[in-house]
Copies of this chain bind each other. A is one copy, B any other.
Amino acid sequence: MSTASPSAAPVAVALPSHLARFQAIRRQSVDLCRPLLPEDTVVQPMIDVSPPKWHLAHTTWFWETFLLREYLPGYEVFHPDYAFLFNSYYNSLGSRVNRADRGTLSRPPLQDVYAYRNHVDAHMEQLLALHDTLPAAFGEVLELGLQHEQQHQELLATDIKYILSTSPLAPAYQPAPARQPQTAAPAVAWLPVPGGVHRVGFEGEGFCFDNELAPHETYVADFELQNRLVTNTEFLEFIEAGGYQDFRYWMGEGWDLVQSQHWTAPLYWVKHETGWHRFTHHGLVPVEMAAPVTHVSFYEADAYAQWRGCRLPTEQEWEIAARHFGATPEGGTFLESGLLDPQPLSPSAPAHQCHQLLGDVWEWTYSAYHAYPGYQRAAGALGEYNGKFMVNQLVLRGGSCATPESHIRVTYRNFFHADKRWQFTGIRLAR
């Protein structure tokens, strides 16, 4: 997940609360890392994953670079090498550590990164005290910094999971909840959505990323969407029907991966004598059959849909449906729940409503991540936030169990390459 430069839309940072909000969001990043040992915060078992220590420092670097150095008179950087060490991908801001080498650096150690955070937080608090005297642009970048930190919280949750999963010891990040596994999900239903010219993209007040702009008309034909996410039960039918062995359901590049990577199930699934298990934040546990399937690539989501004789929605269809059904976060699973796994839909959920649109898992769409009509990259380094990624990736919608609830909305566009599986990604069918 990458993030975006601030919208041109009026930004309404609630003045009395901005300090509290800054502190709460900053604290949330640290809380996520609390169960980790220093060793866990260093490693990078694959290139998409960043060491937690790096996330903690990079988000801090963002505040230092875009706010403290710009707006706090006399501010001195914590350490002159940190700009090189903790820049993610901003060419405007000079050279940086190769992404693939983030896991080779043991220094600075975690304790120094916490000192860096404290230093920056203390100065940010000074700066926030001056809030009313600062230009409007300050407020915009402040808001962007908060959103940026929330994006990295989701990455922290998913990267930590991947890091712990690589050990044969299958260590648990936290104890499992005391709930009984649910085996049956309510029956699926197809919900019609009327087509025509609809308006999509962000408008109104509040924050959005630049990739949600400009709002614009689009035409879709009538379509139907399933009222809930695809479950593990349903996906297991695909596995057992030989779906991973039959090229006819697969995109060509996906089929190449199935063969070269020996994919036979979603990421983190392991077949034991006693049945399928999954690695989770609670260690290795039996697959909960009624829960939404997650950690699938676009290729798997698409092949599953082909096998069912259905398809994935486009991002326009998804957004139009979300508005049509009045999607809200209520009932969805978000980062704040601490559950860090998508939850089964209640058996009593009404069949005629559209459930789980927000939270639980990011829903793959069959839409390339391209600029909207009228999209403009921002000037300066923040112009690199989103625009340069707008080719060769696919849009995902709706947020996941690792997304902060306050971070998501129906116009939010997340994006990944078609082969990625380490995020909480899932499937909703359309036709």
17 interchain pairs, CB-CB under 8 A: A37-B106, A37-B109, A39-B53, A39-B107, A39-B109, A40-B106, A40-B109, A42-B106, A43-B106, A45-B104, A84-B168, A89-B252, A107-B164, A250-B388, A251-B388, A252-B388, A302-B391
In the complex, whether A216 has a CB less than 8 A from a CB of chain B is yes
In the complex, whether A205 has a CB less than 8 A from a CB of chain B is no
In the bound complex, how far is the Cα of B391 from the Cα of A367, in angstroms? 9
B370 and A103 contacting across the interface, CB-CB below 8 Å: no
A298 and B391 contacting across the interface, CB-CB below 8 Å: yes
In the complex, whether A330 has a CB less than 8 A from a CB of chain B is no
Question: Given A43-B43, A103-B103: A219 and B218 within 8 A (CB)?
Answer: yes
Interface residues of A (CB under 8 A from B): 37-45, 53, 81, 84-85, 89, 91-92, 101, 103-111, 163-164, 166-169, 171, 197, 216-219, 221, 247-248, 250-255, 298, 302, 366-368, 370-371, 373, 383, 388-392, 394, 418
A370 and B368 contacting across the interface, CB-CB below 8 Å: yes
CB distance from A377 to the nearest CB of B (A): 8
B168 and A81 contacting across the interface, CB-CB below 8 Å: yes
B163 and A106 contacting across the interface, CB-CB below 8 Å: yes
Inter-chain contacts of A163 with B (CB < 8 A): 106
CB distance from A36 to the nearest CB of B (A): 8
- How would you classify the secondary structure of chain A's contact residues: helix, strand, loop or mixed? mixed
A392 and B418 contacting across the interface, CB-CB below 8 Å: yes
**19 more CB-based (< 8 A) A-B contacts, given A39-B39, A219-B219:** A37-B107, A40-B107, A42-B106, A43-B106, A45-B104, A84-B168, A103-B103, A103-B104, A217-B221, A218-B219, A250-B388, A251-B388, A251-B391, A252-B388, A254-B391, A302-B391, A367-B368, A391-B418, A392-B418
Nearest 7 Cβ contacts at the A-B interface: A368-B368, A219-B219, A45-B104, A252-B388, A107-B167, A38-B38, A40-B106
A255 and B91 contacting across the interface, CB-CB below 8 Å: yes
Q: Which residue of B lies closest to A379 (CB)?
A: B248
A253 and B370 contacting across the interface, CB-CB below 8 Å: no
In the bound complex, how far is the Cα of B41 from the Cα of A85, in angstroms? 20
- Which residue from B39, B85, B252, B373 sits with its C-beta under 8 Å from A42? B39
